[in-house]
Structure 1
Amino acid sequence: MSFDLLPAARRDAMTAAGLWRDETLLDHFRRHVKAAPDKPALVASRAEAGDTVRLTYGGLDTLSDRLAVGLARHGVGEGDVVSFQLPNWWQFTVLHLACLKLGAISNPLMVIFRERELSFMLGLAETKVLVVPARFRNVDHAAIAAAVRGGLPRLAHVAVVDGTGPEAFDALLAIDITDAERAALARRRLAPDAVIQLLYTSGTTGEPKGVTHTSNTMLSNLVPFAQRLRLGRDDVIHMPSPMAHQLGFMYGLVLPLLLGATAVLQDIFVAETMAKQITQESATFTMGATPFLNDLADYCLATGTKTPSLRIFVSAGAPIPRPLVAKAREALGAAIISAWGMSENGAVTTARVEDPEEKVTGTDGCPLPGMEVRVVDLAGAVVPAGEEGMLQVRGCSNFVGYLKRPGLAHVEDGGWFDTGDIARMDADGYIRIAGRSKDIIIRGGENIPVVEVENILFKHPAVAAVAIVGYPDPRLGERACAFVMLRQGQSLSFEEMAAYLKAQKMAMQYIPERLQVVDTLPQTPSGKIQKFRLREMARDGQ
């Protein structure tokens, strides 16, 4: 496991500043179990099955002990990777706790991934155990897991939620723990600098990058986040965002357990369901990309539904349009907080509850304690306030490296991490994301790996050249448009393009929503495609 972003000097500086406290989530969790074993810890509903599971802190502790032993009997130990491709179900939370108790590494995977993505991700991680649902949203995940398993010699076991026989997930829990196994769990102490999470993020190279985090990097983000937003053990945290995203994982799974609060999980986003869960469970906090905020506000306004318990909605993943903030405040009666972050570091900037309107609607917030941001020009010099440049960050919650990709993270002297985003900073230190220098599209908070999609579409026999760009969308932030030059005498319809990409086992969310056939693609004198011109064309509907 690579630790290229964890030099001794960084550790010493973070520890001396009190930002790394050498605590783990288990330290906090066990205190909460001892203090209030009967307190509600988790409410998880399954939309398709129509059931709801409620677990206390004591119940979570018991289940995660059993699962840890069940995984250990399949050879999982310290440093091994356990991958789980699950929706926001209770098994997701129990799996992470079990991994922590073994010193194993949690590797959440989005349910949208198919054979192509899974084969690469599981192979790179050398996954020891994979957990999938039998079916979810009409997709046979058990069959997909079986299809990729043959090419993964390190994969020792597949566990299927709602499965039967020896591969049933419940079989991992239906065990009697021996005294020796219980003693082994009690003896194990998770090192605060051990990698606990591997999370894939789409980049510009066409291959996902495996972000690695430790207890120190993750908790050093969540403690100041909770303090800034005044969150504590009495809060009820609702999470509609997938926990296989960093947003859902850190703020829907880890944050509630850190605080001793209650988590309410939503597995399929429907605005009506979200509103009902918030009101029925008295949720006080929620977080998600702008589509969640927009749809929830629209539903509440249209139906007259009130959410009196909701105190804060943090919107991250894309800038919040000013009219949406006004609409959401009217509909929800909650503070709307803007935020910006990455899988590599969690939320770096947020607005404050007490911030004026222009900071919430006109910026993406200011840095959390322990994090620094700066905006620089191509020469690395800090630009004046209000001018655009490249956004760099450094501090306590920066990750510790990309899996098996030492040196891939662009870190400048002094520990500054190049985010790949273009931003400007105002005189008060609040930033506003203006665009991205890296070639991705963010659709509803989901990063679309543009280069990978282009490479596959280029293989189509009718395609001579292709470039994919984003165009604005009021709900999702961006959608994707494929500009295609055709080979002589060939034709390509949108339906044919979509069918071809589906046949390549590509995630549905990665398929462009528009196809535009052009005679030529705009290029620089050196032959580089001018994507900014294509973005203008896509935006203007040309």
Structure 2
Amino acid sequence: MSLDFNLKTHSDNMRKQGWWQDKTFDDLLEEAIARSPDKPALVCYRMDAGYDVPAASYSYAELGDAVAKAAGAFRQMGIGKGDVVGIMLPNWAEFVISAYALSRIGAIPNPLMHIFRERELRFMLGFADARAIVVPKTFRGHDFEAMMDGLQPELPSLKHVIVVDGDGDRSFDKAVMQSSAAPIPASEGTPIDPGEMSVLMYTSGTTGEPKGVMHCFNTLIACCKSLGDRFGLDTDDVHMGSTPFGHMTGYAAVMAQSLYYGSTMAMMDVWDGAAAVEIMRREGVTHMAGATPFLSDICRVVEGGAEPPKLDTFLCGGAQIPPVVIQKAKTLLDLNVSSLWGMTEALSGSLTEPERSADKSASTDGRATDGVELLIADENLNPLPTGETGRLYFRGAQQFLGYYKRPGLCGRGPEEWFDSGDLAYMDEEGYIRIDGRSKDIIIRGGENVPVVEIESILYDDPRIADAAIVGYPDPRMGERGCAFVVLSGDDGFNLDDLIKVMTDVGVAKQYWPEAVEVIDVMPRTASGKIQKFILKEQATEKYSPN
């Protein structure tokens, strides 16, 4: 598809149509402080502190002070406009403070999932020429500080490793919150223009290397407004902050969404269904966004006898929602679950409104959100009839700005249509249903698994002559991965061997296949392409529950 996209023309059109508001995070934060300075902004729960009481909490005024202090500290470190800074933290207050403070001085937050290890970080931080990174000392048994000590010599641009819960001069407390630097209030900030890149988020790298997706304040806020309008959110809502902020769902549809309305966000760093239900009840959570496993666990806990939380709305994306989960949510929680289709490049492309949940969320992935257009067409952008499966294209207010350092790879064709890589069909009312993927990925618990990259690692093992990874359905995680391998000799290869390979290379555990099948020959077409549908059927028959 030929490149035919002018960012300035696109930006002008979005402003003329009223979808872009030209506000920054600073604008939203200052509005919330002026409206309700003493209102709780963040209520933070951490597993290591126990879930009985919050580990920390901030009113909007206190959050504003913390952001001003952090902004001054980051600037004193030499971080300035356009510098990329990695934030590799769980859903802790320090993530939010860092993101808003960096935005205030014009730096670019680069949220990174805390599941990443050396292999992913070596590329991501190096490609972005990241100036700094904020990490936990340890989290879930992994020593992040030691990992970064090993990586930093390979990353010449990385001048600062800031460690939450760390000791010494580079601890977050000492280097940021107790810095001698003067605080920078919003009035003295130098944020990026609302139409320029304000966050860098990597894709899963389905074709090899991950791509850096660029979004701006305007695209993020357009997402917040369109979702909020359809859900009927307002300042009185309490948001559940359990979806990782290192994902665009957590960053835009949870963290930024709560700020947009000046709402309260109850944060949780490690998901535990029983603890989450209790936190939601205690804090009066009314809105949540997350993948199917979150919703399934809530239903399971309530089904086991726990008092249900007061949830009014639930955004569920990442994979198709099993009808039984939607039914249980309605029966047990009196909750209408809204299905969503989105991606890093598109943010929230489609959503089922709560009032249509019963008849649409189980059978569709929603209809286009405000300011977004969806098209089902062939490879030449010829629209297809209702009900016929084709490529899913999108364009509009939430459309990403492009890929970082890849100006010739914006993915847009004539009239700004972006090929999502998904296959879908549309019904008479404009609701779409994802019906396959032209991209080779597995979505496990809302996490995109970079299949090509993992297959390449297996190919490097001398015991393996051929390899293919496919997903198979799982009622809780959406999909799990199965590695099919053809051996080059008689050494054998099992799941323990695969785990060792993944561990030695330093691959995020969430990307590891959870089953291994040794086969004699890989099924292929006449042209040599692996027939993954055959492997998927085999994995589904063996590993998926009936």
Tell me which interval the TM-score lies in, with the shorter structure as reference length. Answer: over 0.9
1:19–1:396 CA contact under 8 A, matched in 2: yes
The residue number in structure 1 matching 2:353 is 352
Q: 1:260 to 1:340 in 2, by over 3 A?
A: same
1:370 aligns with 2:371: yes
Q: 1:110 to 1:4 in 2, by over 3 A?
A: farther
CA distance in 1, matches of 2:13, 2:462: 55
CA distance in 1, matches of 2:39, 2:385: 51
The residue number in structure 2 matching 1:173 is 177
2:80–2:106 CA contact under 8 A, matched in 1: yes
2:219–2:398 CA contact under 8 A, matched in 1: yes
1:214–1:400 CA contact under 8 A, matched in 2: yes
What is the one-letter code of the residue matched to 1:206? Answer: G
CA distance in 2, matches of 1:58, 1:390: 47
2:30–2:186 CA contact under 8 A, matched in 1: no
CA distance in 1, matches of 2:149, 2:191: 35
Shift of 1:408: 2.5
SS at structure 2 position matched to 1:303? coil
Q: What's the CA shift string for 1:307-334, capped at 9, x where partnerless?
A: 2x21011111111111110111112222
The residue number in structure 1 matching 2:92 is 89
RMSD (CA atoms): 1.6
Task: Kindly report which structure 2 residues correspond to 1:339-488, keeping only aligned pairs within 5 A, or say none.
Answer: 339-355=340-356, 357-488=358-489
Q: What's the CA shift string for 1:412-465, capped at 9, x where partnerless?
A: 200001000011100100001111110111001001000110111111111011
Q: 1:372 to 1:183 in 2, by over 3 A?
A: closer
Shift of 1:6: 5.5
CA distance in 2, matches of 1:501, 1:183: 46
CA distance in 2, matches of 1:498, 1:222: 39
1:23 aligns with 2:26: no
Shift of 1:535: 1.3
Q: 1:187 to 1:69 in 2, by over 3 A?
A: closer
The residue number in structure 2 matching 1:209 is 211
Q: Which moved more, 1:526-535 or 1:146-155?
A: 526-535
TM-score by length of 2: 0.96
1:128–1:154 CA contact under 8 A, matched in 2: yes
Task: Kindly report which structure 2 residues correspond to 1:4-153, keeping only aligned pairs within 5 A, or say none.
Answer: 7-50=7-50, 52-153=55-156
Shift of 1:36: 1.6
1:350–1:367 CA contact under 8 A, matched in 2: yes
1:480–1:514 CA contact under 8 A, matched in 2: yes
CA distance in 1, matches of 2:190, 2:9: 27
1:252–1:265 CA contact under 8 A, matched in 2: no
The residue number in structure 2 matching 1:527 is 528
Q: Which moved more, 1:291-300 or 1:379-388?
A: 379-388
What is the one-letter code of the residue matched to 2:242? Answer: P
Shift of 1:173: 1.0
CA distance in 2, matches of 1:515, 1:523: 19
What is the one-letter code of the residue matched to 2:27? Answer: D
Q: Which moved more, 1:89-98 or 1:488-497?
A: 488-497
What is the one-letter code of the residue matched to 1:175? Answer: S
Shift of 1:380: 2.4
SS at structure 2 position matched to 1:48? helix
SS at structure 1 position matched to 2:257? helix
TM-score by length of 1: 0.96
SS at structure 2 position matched to 1:55? strand
Q: 1:426 to 1:48 in 2, by over 3 A?
A: same
SS at structure 2 position matched to 1:23? coil
The residue number in structure 1 matching 2:258 is 256
SS at structure 1 position matched to 2:415? coil
CA distance in 1, matches of 2:458, 2:542: 21
Q: 1:154 to 1:59 in 2, by over 3 A?
A: same
CA distance in 2, matches of 1:183, 1:325: 45
CA distance in 1, matches of 2:140, 2:420: 34
**Between the two proteins, what is the percent identity of the paired residues?**
41
1:329 aligns with 2:325: no
Q: 1:444 to 1:518 in 2, by over 3 A?
A: same
What is the one-letter code of the residue matched to 1:55? Answer: Y
CA distance in 1, matches of 2:143, 2:189: 39
Shift of 1:228: 1.0
Shift of 1:185: 6.0
Q: 1:100 to 1:528 in 2, by over 3 A?
A: same
Q: 1:164 to 1:340 in 2, by over 3 A?
A: same
1:82–1:105 CA contact under 8 A, matched in 2: yes
CA distance in 1, matches of 2:231, 2:396: 20
CA distance in 1, matches of 2:139, 2:149: 16
Q: 1:39 to 1:394 in 2, by over 3 A?
A: same
Shift of 1:291: 0.6
SS at structure 2 position matched to 1:336? strand
SS at structure 1 position matched to 2:265? strand
Q: What's the CA shift string for 1:158-215, capped at 9, x where partnerless?
A: 110010111101111103444xx64896153541112110111113212111111001
CA distance in 2, matches of 1:527, 1:396: 41
1:5–1:401 CA contact under 8 A, matched in 2: no
**151, 160, 163: which one aligns with 2:163:** 160
CA distance in 2, matches of 1:371, 1:534: 36
SS at structure 2 position matched to 1:527? coil
SS at structure 1 position matched to 2:384? coil
Q: Which moved more, 1:491-500 or 1:132-141?
A: 491-500
What is the one-letter code of the residue matched to 1:424? Answer: Y
Shift of 1:406: 2.3
Q: Which runs of 5+ in 2 are unaligned?
A: none
CA distance in 2, matches of 1:190, 1:356: 38
